[in-house]
Chains A and B, each alone.
Chain A
Amino acid sequence: AQSVTQLGSHVSVSEGALVLLRCNYSSSVPPYLFWYVQYPNQGLQLLLKYTSAATLVKGINGFEAEFKKSETSFHLTKPSAHMSDAAEYFCAVTSSGAGSYQLTFGKGTKLSVIP
Chain B
Amino acid sequence: ETGVTQTPRHLVMGMTNKKSLKCEQHLGHNAMYWYKQSAKKPLELMFVYSLEERVENNSVPSRFSPECPNSSHLFLHLHTLQPEDSALYLCASSAGTVQNNEQFFGPGTRLTVL
Contacts and interface: CB of A to CB of B under 8 A. Distances in A.
Nearest to B41: A107
Contacts of B92: 43-44
A100 B99 contact: yes
Interface residues of A, number: 26
B7 to A, nearest CB: 14
Contact of A104 (B4, B41, B42, B108): B42
Contacts of B96: 99
A101 B107 contact: no
A42 to B, nearest CB: 5
A94 B107 contact: no
B108 A43 contact: yes
Contacts, number: 64
A108 B88 CA distance: 14
A102 B45 contact: yes
Nearest to B58: A102
B90 A44 contact: yes
A74 interface: no
Given A106-B42, A107-B42, A94 B99 contact: yes
Nearest to A51: B99
Interface of A: 4, 9, 32, 41-46, 49, 51, 90, 92, 94-96, 99-108
